[in-house]
Protein backbone atom coordinates (compact mmCIF):
# COMPACT_ATOMS: atom_id res chain seq x y z
CA UNK A 1 0.00 0.00 0.00
CA UNK A 2 1.36 3.42 -0.99
CA UNK A 3 2.08 5.25 2.30
CA UNK A 4 1.31 8.60 0.69
CA UNK A 5 -2.21 7.40 -0.13
CA UNK A 6 -2.80 5.65 3.18
CA UNK A 7 -5.13 6.98 5.84
CA UNK A 8 -4.27 5.72 9.28
CA UNK A 9 -6.83 5.55 12.05
CA UNK A 10 -5.39 5.43 15.56
CA UNK A 11 -7.82 4.38 18.26
CA UNK A 12 -6.52 5.35 21.70
CA UNK A 13 -7.68 3.97 25.00
CA UNK A 14 -8.00 1.27 27.59
CA UNK A 15 -10.93 -1.17 27.33
CA UNK A 16 -10.70 -1.85 31.06
CA UNK A 17 -11.38 1.78 32.04
CA UNK A 18 -14.94 2.08 30.73
CA UNK A 19 -15.31 5.22 28.53
CA UNK A 20 -11.54 5.40 28.02
CA UNK A 21 -12.10 2.57 25.52
CA UNK A 22 -14.18 4.66 23.11
CA UNK A 23 -11.27 5.36 20.75
CA UNK A 24 -10.69 1.62 20.41
CA UNK A 25 -14.41 1.04 19.78
CA UNK A 26 -14.51 3.63 16.98
CA UNK A 27 -11.33 2.16 15.46
CA UNK A 28 -12.91 -1.33 15.46
CA UNK A 29 -16.00 -0.02 13.68
CA UNK A 30 -13.92 1.73 11.02
CA UNK A 31 -11.83 -1.42 10.55
CA UNK A 32 -15.01 -3.48 10.06
CA UNK A 33 -16.05 -1.20 7.19
CA UNK A 34 -12.99 -2.26 5.19
CA UNK A 35 -12.47 1.11 3.53
CA UNK A 36 -9.77 0.92 0.84
CA UNK A 37 -6.50 2.65 1.72
CA UNK A 38 -7.35 2.77 5.43
CA UNK A 39 -5.14 1.20 8.09
CA UNK A 40 -6.35 0.93 11.66
CA UNK A 41 -4.08 0.69 14.69
CA UNK A 42 -4.81 0.66 18.39
CA UNK A 43 -2.77 2.42 21.06
CA UNK A 44 -2.76 2.58 24.82
CA UNK A 45 -1.87 6.27 24.57
CA UNK A 46 1.86 6.32 25.25
CA UNK A 47 3.36 9.39 23.54
CA UNK A 48 6.19 7.57 21.77
CA UNK A 49 3.87 4.78 20.58
CA UNK A 50 1.47 7.40 19.22
CA UNK A 51 4.24 9.16 17.32
CA UNK A 52 5.29 5.82 15.85
CA UNK A 53 1.66 5.04 14.93
CA UNK A 54 1.34 8.12 12.75
CA UNK A 55 4.80 7.93 11.24
CA UNK A 56 5.08 7.42 7.49
CA UNK A 57 1.56 8.36 6.41
CA UNK A 58 0.14 11.61 5.15
CA UNK A 59 -3.31 11.58 6.75
CA UNK A 60 -4.04 10.45 10.30
CA UNK A 61 -7.17 10.40 12.44
CA UNK A 62 -6.83 9.83 16.19
CA UNK A 63 -9.81 9.03 18.38
CA UNK A 64 -9.59 9.34 22.15
CA UNK A 65 -11.75 9.92 25.19
CA UNK A 66 -11.55 13.36 26.80
CA UNK A 67 -12.41 14.77 30.18
CA UNK A 68 -13.06 18.49 29.85
CA UNK A 69 -16.25 18.98 31.84
CA UNK A 70 -18.54 19.04 28.78
CA UNK A 71 -21.64 16.86 28.64
CA UNK A 72 -20.82 13.15 28.28
CA UNK A 73 -20.89 12.07 24.65
CA UNK A 74 -19.91 15.51 23.34
CA UNK A 75 -17.68 15.20 20.29
CA UNK A 76 -14.86 17.64 19.55
CA UNK A 77 -12.80 17.69 16.36
CA UNK A 78 -9.36 19.33 16.32
CA UNK A 79 -7.06 19.87 13.36
CA UNK A 80 -3.93 19.11 15.39
CA UNK A 81 -1.55 20.38 12.70
CA UNK A 82 -3.15 23.80 12.86
CA UNK A 83 -4.20 23.96 16.53
CA UNK A 84 -2.76 22.58 19.76
CA UNK A 85 -4.87 20.09 21.67
CA UNK A 86 -6.34 21.32 24.93
CA UNK A 87 -4.01 19.36 27.22
CA UNK A 88 -6.40 19.55 30.18
CA UNK A 89 -9.03 17.62 28.19
CA UNK A 90 -6.72 14.94 26.78
CA UNK A 91 -5.30 13.67 30.09
CA UNK A 92 -7.20 10.40 30.45
CA UNK A 93 -4.13 8.34 29.49
CA UNK A 94 -2.78 5.87 32.01
CA UNK A 95 0.74 6.82 30.85
CA UNK A 96 2.78 9.77 32.05
CA UNK A 97 2.56 11.46 28.64
CA UNK A 98 -0.58 11.16 26.55
CA UNK A 99 -1.98 12.38 23.26
CA UNK A 100 -1.57 16.13 23.81
CA UNK A 101 2.06 15.65 24.84
CA UNK A 102 2.68 13.39 21.83
CA UNK A 103 1.27 15.99 19.43
CA UNK A 104 3.32 18.81 20.90
CA UNK A 105 6.50 16.74 21.02
CA UNK A 106 6.01 15.71 17.38
CA UNK A 107 5.35 19.36 16.48
CA UNK A 108 8.57 20.46 18.20
CA UNK A 109 10.54 17.73 16.42
CA UNK A 110 8.96 18.45 13.02
CA UNK A 111 7.39 14.97 12.98
CA UNK A 112 3.69 15.72 12.67
CA UNK A 113 2.06 14.10 9.64
CA UNK A 114 0.80 16.56 6.99
CA UNK A 115 -2.78 16.01 8.20
CA UNK A 116 -3.61 15.02 11.79
CA UNK A 117 -7.22 15.20 12.92
CA UNK A 118 -8.16 14.32 16.49
CA UNK A 119 -11.67 13.36 17.53
CA UNK A 120 -12.28 13.58 21.26
CA UNK A 121 -15.35 12.13 22.93
CA UNK A 122 -16.29 13.40 26.36
CA UNK A 123 -16.39 10.47 28.76
CA UNK A 124 -18.63 10.00 31.76
CA UNK A 125 -17.06 7.02 33.53
CA UNK A 126 -13.32 6.24 33.61
CA UNK A 127 -13.52 3.74 36.45
CA UNK A 128 -12.45 0.12 36.31
CA UNK A 129 -14.63 -2.14 34.21
CA UNK A 130 -15.57 -2.76 30.61
CA UNK A 131 -18.23 -1.21 28.40
CA UNK A 132 -19.04 2.35 27.46
CA UNK A 133 -21.56 4.54 29.27
CA UNK A 134 -24.81 5.03 27.34
CA UNK A 135 -23.97 8.65 26.43
CA UNK A 136 -20.56 7.72 25.01
CA UNK A 137 -21.88 4.64 23.20
CA UNK A 138 -24.53 6.84 21.57
CA UNK A 139 -21.80 9.12 20.15
CA UNK A 140 -19.91 6.28 18.43
CA UNK A 141 -22.09 6.08 15.26
CA UNK A 142 -21.82 9.88 14.79
CA UNK A 143 -18.04 9.75 14.93
CA UNK A 144 -17.85 6.78 12.56
CA UNK A 145 -20.12 8.61 10.08
CA UNK A 146 -18.09 11.83 10.31
CA UNK A 147 -14.80 10.00 9.89
CA UNK A 148 -16.10 7.93 6.96
CA UNK A 149 -17.18 11.15 5.24
CA UNK A 150 -13.77 12.76 5.81
CA UNK A 151 -11.89 9.67 4.64
CA UNK A 152 -13.94 9.22 1.50
CA UNK A 153 -13.82 12.97 0.72
CA UNK A 154 -10.04 13.06 1.13
CA UNK A 155 -9.62 10.11 -1.25
CA UNK A 156 -10.51 12.45 -4.13
CA UNK A 157 -7.67 14.85 -3.39
CA UNK A 158 -3.92 14.31 -3.71
Q: What is the DSSP string of 13-43?
A: --TTBGGGGHHHHHHHHHHHHT-TTEEEEEE
pTM: 0.88
For the chain, domain boundaries = 3-154
- Nearest C-alpha neighbor of 119 from the set 68, 61, 70: 61
Q: What is the mean pLDDT of residues 59-65?
A: 94
Please give the class, per CATH, of domain 3-154. alpha beta
Q: What is the pLDDT at residue 157?
A: 45
In this prediction, residue 91 has a pLDDT band, given cuts at 50, 70 and 90, of: low
Share of the chain above pLDDT 70, in %: 87
Amino acid sequence: MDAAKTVRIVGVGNRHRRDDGVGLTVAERIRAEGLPGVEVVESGGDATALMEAWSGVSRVFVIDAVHSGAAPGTVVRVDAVRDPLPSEAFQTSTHAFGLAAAVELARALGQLPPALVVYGIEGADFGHGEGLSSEVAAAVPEIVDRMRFEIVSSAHFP
